[in-house]
């Protein structure tokens, strides 16, 4: 019974949480569970926020000129996925395509094995819009996967 009550409290807290809509570019916004921290490094803009169940991370980079063509996107997405997995000694669990507002992207589910202090289960979506790559991820620990599901879905589907 104690576990059931704890689960109800956690579930209710996730619905009570006040989400923050953040403008990423002139054409894209996303919702975070709280006001995100914004940093810039080497021409890349990062946004991050976290709560008790997970972390939300967004990366945006202008790809410059020449503009990327639709035919170049699959190879580009594969490169981003490969680099993401390599950087955290990750293991790919799932990979697929998704569409958001008519823009086609790739999504993956992977485990990160580089730092046991950081969440190890990661959901990543990558898309290119107006020649900007937008990568957004939800990180949680495997043991929190079910509890974090609502927050993950809300974040990933809010772009």
Q: Which is more confident, 76 or 4?
A: 76
Lowest mean pLDDT among 14-28, 82-96, 132-146: 14-28
Give dist(CA 124, CA 111) in Å, integer: 11
Q: Read off the DSSP letter of residue 37.
A: E
Q: What φ, ψ does residue 43 adopt, rounded to 5°?
A: 80, 10
In 3D, which of 125, 130, 135 has the Cα closest to residue 64? Answer: 130
pLDDT in tens, 64-84: 888 888 899 999 999 999 999
pLDDT of residue 16: 58
Mean pLDDT of 131-137: 95
Q: How many helices (H) and strands (E) does the chain have?
A: 3, 9
Is 4 a residue whose pLDDT tops 90? no
pLDDT in tens, 89-132: 999 999 999 998 888 999 999 999 989 899 999 999 999 988 99
Beta strands in 4-154 (DSSP E): 20-23, 29-32, 37-41, 44-50, 55-62, 91-100, 103-111, 121-129, 132-140
Give dist(CA 13, CA 7) in Å, integer: 10
Is 135 a residue whose pLDDT tops 90? yes
pLDDT of residue 87: 95
Q: Which is more confident, 103 or 11?
A: 103
Is 7 a residue whose pLDDT tops 70? no
pLDDT of residue 100: 87
CB atoms within 10 A of CB 44: 13
Confidence band of 6 (pLDDT split at 50, 70, 90):
very low
């Amino acid at each position: 019974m104690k576990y059931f009550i704890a689960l109800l409290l956690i579930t209710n807290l996730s619905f009570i949480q006040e989400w923050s809509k953040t403008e990423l570019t002139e054409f894209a916004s996303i919702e975070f569970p709280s006001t995100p921290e914004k940093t810039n490094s080497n021409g890349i803009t990062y946004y991050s926020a976290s709560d008790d169940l997970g972390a939300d991370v967004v990366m945006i980079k202008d790809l410059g000129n020449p503009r990327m063509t639709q035919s170049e996107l699959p190879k580009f997405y594969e490169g981003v996925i490969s680099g993401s997995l390599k950087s955290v000694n990750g293991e790919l669990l799932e990979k697929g395509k998704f569409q958001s507002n008519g823009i086609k992207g790739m999504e993956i589910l992977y485990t990160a094995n580089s730092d046991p202090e950081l969440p190890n289960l990661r959901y990543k979506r990558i898309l290119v819009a107006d020649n900007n790559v937008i990568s957004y991820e939800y990180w949680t620990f495997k043991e929190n996967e079910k509890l974090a599901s609502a927050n993950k879905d809300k974040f990933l589907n809010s772009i």
